[in-house]
Amino acid sequence: MEEGKMDENEWSYHGEGNKSLVVAHAQRCVVLRFLKFPPNKKKTSEEILQHLQNIVDFGKNVMKDFLGENYVHCGEVVQLPLEFVKQLCLKIQCERPESRCDKDLDTFSGYAMCLPNLTRLQTFHFAEHRPILCVEIKPKCGFIPFSNDVTHEMKHKVCRYCMHQHLKNGELIYGCGDARSPVADLKELAHHLKPFFFPSNGLASGPHCTKAVIRELVHVITRVLLSSSEKARAGALRLGLQGPRVCEASPFSRSLHNQGKNTSEHSGLPKGCLLYKTLQVQMLDQLDIEGLYPLYKRVEQYLEEFPEERKTLQIDGPYDEVFYQKLLDLSTEDDGTVAFALTKVQQYRVAMTAKDCSIMIALSPCLQGTSSDQRPVIPSSRSRLAFSVSVLDLDLKPYESIPHQYKLDSKIVNYYSKTVHAKDDTVRSTRFKEHEDCTLVLHKV
């Protein structure tokens, strides 16, 4: 990146989450990712640089190994002219959603991360002039807690995600049970998808067509998620599923029940695929927050006595090879040491990170008669689709968030048990229609 020649007009607002904001370059397939902070919580430039460097190191030394070289793009920290950042911030402000404006873009340090634009196919450095369909999925937690430390029976039946949605009072959209008819929205979605999936150039229409196109989207995404690249290995972790396999509140559970099937002893995911690897990292949360919290307090007590040890314990980095090697110790035998407690705390932070990452899938039709340039392809009814799959938002969750997670966990389960589960049967039977063989549940962003 030629920092001296930065022009804000070449960059446009791309998206943002709770902690960072992303702008994309108009021609080149790169994005800049800036940190965001609440207005009264400014950090020094050194702190921001360290934070960004930690994100890059964590991706390189930990996540690349766990998830696979091909899926993780760590990027690099770049220093930008302050004037460019200020002008860019002014330019994009009007495009930011109001709900995200409680935090400001960091315009003081001049540091940001430069990453490949993962909404593009990863083999091209410049924007291509052919349609790209991009789907971002947040694969929240993929297992039900199996830890013996879990005290709330409900946590063995219903997953945290399903329970949490009720506490958030989020509105379910495109779900089968909401008051509005999703038909018009689904029709519009299908209209946009037809050029990618429908054999007759999107000219056919009607409810049957809408359903077929959306089913094909789900089919293609599933195939991409279950695919393995040749280089993909099973990953460094070997954690087996234990306990109940499927969330009782999910449509998947109902569908298995209807088919008279039991939940399987294993995840059923191919070992080289990204979903399997993501699940393995999520399962580093072996003890659940209920088993982890006392260990966190053990570390805290030690740090109160020996605050200078915080650095040696690598609580705030560096996230290097030593940090990585310690994560591989899967033993759950507590010998009462701070070392054991620390390993479990660090594994929990990594697991929470994997429970909050996103998977970006970019799909583009292969032109007829051309080779796929050695890119992976997936067949669809209209043409073959070249695709790339990447993981993003792999920022290690902070040590400080553990007490919050502990309190939140209790709040989520108590709320669900008291307010929802009591009247659950009626709600569930109306929310998810029986005999639906594909369910697309989208949430407002």
Ligand X SMILES: Nc1ncnc2c1ncn2[C@@H]1O[C@H](COP(=O)(O)OP(=O)(O)OP(=O)(O)O)[C@@H](O)[C@H]1O
Ligand Y SMILES: O=P(O)(O)O[C@@H]1[C@@H](OP(=O)(O)O)[C@H](OP(=O)(O)O)[C@H](O)[C@H](OP(=O)(O)O)[C@H]1OP(=O)(O)O
Pick the closer one to ligand X by CB: 17 or 270. Answer: 17
> What is the rounded CA–CA span in Å between residue 74 and residue 113?
9
Pairing of strands 384-392, 377-379: antiparallel
Q: Which does 118 bind (CB under 5 to 8 A by kind): ligand X, ligand Y, none?
A: ligand X
Residue 29 interacts with ligand Y (CB under 6 A)? Answer: no
DSSP string, 241-272: --S--S-TTSHHHHHHHHTTPPPPSS----TT
> Based on CB atoms, which residue is closest to ligand X, 130 or 233?
130
Name the nearest CA neighbour of 65 among 232, 283, 263. Answer: 232
Q: Is 138 in the site for ligand Y (CB under 6 A)?
A: yes
Dihedral over alpha carbons 298, 352, 330, 263 (to 10 degrees): 130
407 sits near ligand Y (criterion: CB under 6 A): no
Q: Which residue, 93 or 331, is less far from ligand X as judged by CB? A: 93
Binding status of residue 410 toward ligand Y by CB under 6 A: no
Which amino acid is residue 46, in one-letter code?
E
Angle at 442 (CA atoms; ends 438, 443), nearest 5 degrees: 155
Of 238 and 411, the one with the shorter C-beta distance to ligand Y is 411
Residues making contact with ligand X (CB under 6 A): 14-20, 22, 31, 33, 115, 117-119, 136, 356, 358, 392-393, 395
Listed ranges 13-21, 227-235, 369-377, 380-388: which one lies at the site for ligand Y (CB under 6 A): 13-21
User: Site residues for ligand Y, window 323-362 (CB under 6 A)?
Assistant: 352, 356
Q: Which does 164 bind (CB under 5 to 8 A by kind): ligand Y, ligand X, none?
A: ligand Y
Span near ligand Y by CB under 6 A; candidates 14-22, 205-213, 310-318, 376-384: 14-22
Min. distance of Cβ 352 from ligand Y in angstroms?
Answer: 6
Backbone angles phi, psi at 378, to 5 degrees: -130, 135
Contact status: 125 vs ligand Y (CB under 6 A): no
User: Nearest residue to ligand X, using CB?
Assistant: 17
Q: Contact with ligand Y (CB under 6 A): which of 1, 8, 13, 17? A: 17
Q: Closest approach of Cβ 18 to ligand Y, in Å? A: 3
- 276: Cβ–Cβ under 8 A, 6 or more apart, which residues? 234, 235, 267, 269, 270
- Which x/- pattern over 367-406 shows residues binding ligand Y (rule: CB under 6 A)? ------------------------------x---x-----
The footprint of ligand Y on residues 163-182 (CB under 6 A) is 164
- Three-state DSSP state, 11: strand
d(CA 261, CA 211): 25
Residue nearest to ligand Y as judged by C-beta position:
18
Residue 307 gets which letter from DSSP? G
Residues near 416 by beta carbon (within 8 Å), at least 6 away in sequence:
154, 158, 163, 166, 167
**Closest separation between CB of residue 99 and ligand Y, Å?**
9
431 vs 439: CA distance, rounded Å? 11
Q: Report the Cα–Cα distance between both ends of the chain, in Å, rounded.
A: 31
Give the footprint of ligand Y on this chain (CB under 6 A): 17-19, 138, 164, 352, 356, 397, 401
